[in-house]
Amino acid sequence: MGMRILCYHEIAEPLAGDFARQLDHFARSGYEFLSLSRALAERDRKSMVVSFDDGDHTLCEFAQPVLDERNIKAIIYLTTDYVLQRSTYRSKKPLRAVTWDQLGRWLEAGHEIGGHSHTHANFTACSDDELFDEMGRSAEVVRRELGIEMRHFAYPWGQHDGRTRSLLAGLSQWQTAATIDRGVNDIGTDRLLLKRDVIDPDMDLRKVRAKMFLGSQPWLYQMQKSFGRRLRSPR
């Protein structure tokens, strides 16, 4: 039991069908799709939350129709300067960003928007003042453009440490913060360390099942992470 959170980025038009098949697979596997806010309040259920990072145009153009057809409520963790600059400029392959009009329709459909900083900065490399600015400007821009107060946050690139979490905890606006560490979020999971399973829409279902299984076995996942770090370390 517990809540799993899927983390996607872009959903290119040719992959919208694959994205749909993944969602249908999870529904057949017994997961109940809930919005993040509702799932947090009901963490004793076997629930699934769909999240997206950054905010490129494909999320509203190609992912939202798939979600709305299934009555699945998702959350976009939005990098606000991407929308202002009309480009996901810090991505490996920058894409056109969503527009405020698209995000307005996203909210009208019952979906959520969370913070992902203003410029997608690496929080562990920022000073305290820079962190406050990244979070504050993000909230200010969304408040101005969409008239809402964001409550949920996701660390850019999944980068966080004790200092960043402490600063975030001191800001009453943010109720949760999400990582990209895989796993189940149960009643004891720290709300500032929510786990998410990063999934690509072009993954076949066998690989999706393997990734989800790995995330459900903390000891095995940590062993894989440690092995990966050793492979990447300079020799």
Question: Residue 233: its pLDDT value, please?
Answer: 38
Range 87-113 average pLDDT: 97
More confident residue, 233 or 206: 206
In sequence order, the β-bridge partners of residue 2 are 46
pLDDT confidence tier of residue 223, bands split at 50, 70 and 90: low
Q: Nearest 10 degrees: CA dihedral of 102, 105, 111, 112?
A: 60
Model pLDDT, residue 220: 58
pLDDT per residue as tens digits for the range 15-70: 999 999 999 999 999 999 999 999 999 888 899 999 999 999 999 999 999 999 99
Q: What is the pLDDT of residue 228?
A: 47
Q: Using a pLDDT cut of 70, give the percent of the chain over it.
A: 92
CATH number, span 2-232: 3.20.20.370
Could you tell me if residue 46 is left (phi over 0), alpha (psi between -120 and 50 degrees) or otherwise beta? beta
194: which DSSP letter?
A: B
Alpha-carbon distances, residue 207 vs 1, 9, 16, 68, 197 (angstroms): 22, 18, 18, 25, 12
Domain boundaries, given as residue ranges, for the chain: 2-232
- Mean of the pLDDT values across residues 197-222? 85
* 140 vs 210, residue with greater confidence: 140
What gap in Å lies between CA 64 and CA 226, rounded to an integer? 36
